[in-house]
Amino acid sequence: MKCIVVVGDGMADYPLEELGGRTPLEEADTPNLDHVASRGICGLVRTIPEGMPPGSDIANLSIMGYDPLKVYTGRAPLEALSLGVELGNKVAFRCNFVSVEDGVLADFTAGHISTDEARELVEALNSEFSQEGRFFTGLGYRHLFVCGYGEGVRTTPPHDIVGERIQGYLPEGGGDAERLRELMLRSKEVLEAHEVNLRRAEAGKRRANMIWLWGQGRKPSMKPFRSIYGVEGAVISAVDLVKGIGVAAGMRRVEVPGATGYYDTNYEGKAEHALAALEEVEYCYVHVEAPDEAGHEGDAELKVRCIEELDRRLLGRVLDGCGEEVAVAVLPDHPTPVRVRTHTSDPVPVAVLHPGLRDDVRCFSERACAKGGLGMMQAKELNHLLLRHR
């Protein structure tokens, strides 16, 4: 039996006073998520192994059936695989363009700078810092820095420190950390005076006036998805992290025009490409970033709207197009609660539409799925459940 896994990044949340004590999932109008829940079987899934940070890298590796404790080497090396960057023995860092105001990290996305603007800034960084390493353009504010040092330093994800003074969160741990700190601080001199930022300031937009390096590591080694599960897989996402996991797993990477990793992503295109992929592979993993972005912004109303868009424009089309011969699973990778504005390690709700599997749950939410027949699962169990009747 073929299967499709739809992941709403950061979709899970806590009850919110502004929503009358409901979570965004409970508040949202989600007839298609509710259809999967009411016609299938539900539960909670632990996607973050104990002691590991609650990042999308760890969570998506887990959902795809890998043990992060064994295969995880860092976030940036996975993104390097997506970008086609050959690391060799070098170290990759995730490189955000960020906005720093009066020593405070004001925005970890630099006002969601466009990829075209970012490309100009990357060129300037490579011109100025060619002796330090090389920068590679990714998507929006998300980019890559590759160098020959820094693997053992301690870094902090910028989305965890919005509103905090940066001085306490710069890289730590020896001489390499000092070198990286200097590089990050020197980047302000290059970026603040750049024409891209002068234009953005004139337009009233946040400036991408500093780089933030984090998530470093060397190239991972992972067994092919097919060798573990006996099926061919495909991955659909706008973000290089998830695409990179797919590349490391030997899965097909399906590119969708208009997939942005933001609120304006091409939901319909993702659905259509997923259905087309299932004509050639047995397993398709579809990732949507938008709810996570809304959680980081602390915007409950926007997060509700993102969940509704995913439900109506993507999941509805998937359900209409795949029929009963395809198993469907829907879940977040981790919570990104509006009131904390970053990831947490709480288990997430899951609903699985699969012949012969059913319980009494009638809607898709954190509290409803907690009462489902699957109970509390480990993420690695999900693929075995979906593929068990092959």
Q: Which pLDDT does position 272 carry in this prediction? A: 98
**Does residue 388 surpass a pLDDT of 80?**
no
pLDDT for the residue 127: 98
The answer on 258 and 124 residing in a single domain is no
* 288 within some domain: yes
- The arithmetic mean of pLDDT across residues 296-312, rounded, is 97
Asked if residue 77 belongs to a domain, the reply is no
CB 364 within 8 A of CB 30: yes
pLDDT of residue 390: 47
Give the percent of the chain with pLDDT over 90: 96
CATH number at residue 367: 3.40.720.10
Phi/psi-derived region of residue 84, left when phi > 0, alpha when psi is between -120 and 50, beta in every other case: left
The last residue of a domain, from among 217, 237, 266? 217
Helix (H, G, I), strand (E, B) or coil at 277: helix
At residue 33, the pLDDT reads 98
Domain check: are 224 and 262 in the same one?
A: yes
The answer, yes or no, to whether residue 328 has pLDDT greater than 80, is yes
Q: Are residues 191 and 239 in the same domain?
A: no
Q: Of 135, 167, 130, 171, give the one whose Cα is nearest residue 150.
A: 171
Q: Confirm whether 273 is domain-assigned.
A: yes
- Both 275 and 354 in one domain: the answer is yes
Final residue before a domain boundary, out of 217, 242, 264:
217
In 3D, which of 241, 238, 239, 235 has the Cα closest to residue 220? 241
Q: For 70-77, what is the mean pLDDT?
A: 96
Domain extent at residue 28: 2-72+220-386
Question: How far is Cα 379 from Cα 381, in angstroms, rounded to an integer?
Answer: 5
Residue 242 has pLDDT above 60, yes or no: yes
Work out how many domains the chain is built from and give that number: 2
Tens of pLDDT, residues 109-150: 999 999 999 999 999 999 999 999 999 999 999 999 999 999
366 in the same domain as 235: yes
pLDDT the model gives residue 75 = 95
Out of 217, 246, 278, a domain closes at: 217
Model confidence band, residue 20 (pLDDT cutoffs 50, 70, 90): very high
Cβ pair 231, 390 in contact under 8 A: yes
Task: Please indicate, yes or no, whether residues 382 and 234 belong to a single structural domain of this protein.
Answer: yes
